[in-house]
């Protein structure tokens, strides 16, 4: 896939505006829109926050360019958009325990979030979204990939959709963040990813859920944290999960974000996957992430 971000496509000139306080310009991709007309350093009023949440439900990934934010302003945005779900495992930003640091130094080989996943799916009440802000970037590379689990579900046959609606799946943090988890095998991730003793989360979620705002169905499984279907063994679950993962990761359901300093990206954790591309050896990349609190899936 090209490393060039899709260009925004404008609405037809005679189409009515979708929102009163913000402008949403969809990307020429399966998901995502650039949001303009809002200065996030200013306190969001109730209507603007509602419109951002509405745009998130519609486009799944929102990109705000050229924003100059302090950590306090980053936190204030999250609080206006629905509250904060504090990450247990990422090193926090010094002095700001509500903000997780996503850091890769020139001497590091492994990056954080390098495989497809959905944040916090191991929680009984999974995260609604994430707000990721670019602080330091490499000279090139370090893009983030997103994929739409909504589009993927809609592409499946009616028969498979009906079957998936009957299933639930087990998710866990233990095999990734625990003392014997995959993070421990990455020799330069410990120190940036902490607290293996806190990796005790196990959750059971529907494989297909109905989005509370837009009424669309989406798959809720991911390669990072999903273990198996409820009532199935891992061996029995593996072929169907592999097929679903292949569908979600299809290029025509994806969007590739090219970061710029001052970019804030908000994505819907419930309907998307993401992964950070690790293609900038010998350079620094630092982003600040706040996870938004969610609600039970139905």
DSSP string, 225-236: TEEEETTS-HHH
pTM: 0.92
Q: Pull the structure tokens for residue 125.
A: 């009440």
Q: What is the mean pLDDT of residues 252-272?
A: 98
Q: What is the mean pLDDT of residues 273-282?
A: 98
Contact in structure between 116 and 252 (CB atoms under 8 Å): no
What's the mean pLDDT when you consider all of the chain?
Answer: 93
Per-domain residue ranges of the chain = 23-292
Q: What is the band of 63 on the pLDDT scale with cuts at 50, 70, 90?
A: very high
| Percent of the chain whose predicted confidence (pLDDT) is above 90 | 90
pLDDT at 167 over 60: yes
- Alpha-carbon span 214 to 58, nearest angstrom: 7
pLDDT at 6 over 80: no
CATH topology of domain 23-292: Double-stranded beta-helix (3.60.130)
pLDDT in tens, 77-129: 999 999 999 999 999 999 999 999 999 999 999 999 999 999 999 999 999 99
């Amino acid at each position: 896939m090209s490393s060039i971000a899709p260009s925004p496509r404008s609405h037809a000139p005679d189409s009515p505006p979708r929102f009163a306080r913000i402008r949403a310009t969809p990307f020429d991709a399966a998901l995502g829109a650039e949001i303009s007309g809002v200065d996030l350093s200013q306190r969001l009023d109730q209507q603007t926050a509602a419109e951002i949440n509405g745009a998130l439900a519609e486009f799944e990934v929102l990109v705000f360019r050229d924003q100059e934010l302090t950590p306090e302003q980053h936190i204030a945005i999250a609080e206006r958009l629905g509250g904060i779900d504090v990450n247990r495992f990422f090193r926090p930003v010094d002095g700001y325990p509500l903000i997780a640091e996503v850091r890769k130094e020139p001497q590091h080989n492994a990056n954080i979030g390098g495989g497809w996943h959905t944040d916090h799916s191991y929680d009984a009440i999974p995260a609604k979204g994430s707000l990721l802000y670019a602080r330091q970037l490499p000279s090139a590379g370090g893009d983030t990939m997103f994929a739409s689990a909504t589009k993927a579900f809609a592409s499946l046959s009616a028969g498979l959709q009906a079957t998936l609606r009957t299933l639930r799946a087990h998710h866990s943090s233990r095999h990734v963040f625990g003392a014997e988890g995959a993070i421990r095998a990455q020799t330069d991730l410990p120190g940036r990813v902490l607290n293996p003793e806190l990796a005790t989360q196990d959750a059971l979620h529907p494989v297909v859920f109905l989005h509370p705002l837009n009424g669309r169905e989406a798959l809720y499984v991911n390669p990072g944290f999903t273990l198996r279907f409820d009532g199935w063994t891992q061996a029995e679950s593996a072929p169907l999960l592999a097929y679903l993962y292949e569908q979600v990761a299809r290029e025509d359901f994806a969007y590739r974000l090219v970061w710029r300093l001052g970019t804030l990206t908000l994505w819907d954790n419930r309907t998307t996957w993401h992964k950070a591309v690790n293609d900038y050896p010998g350079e620094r990349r630092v982003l600040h992430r706040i996870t938004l609190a969610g609600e039970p899936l139905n």
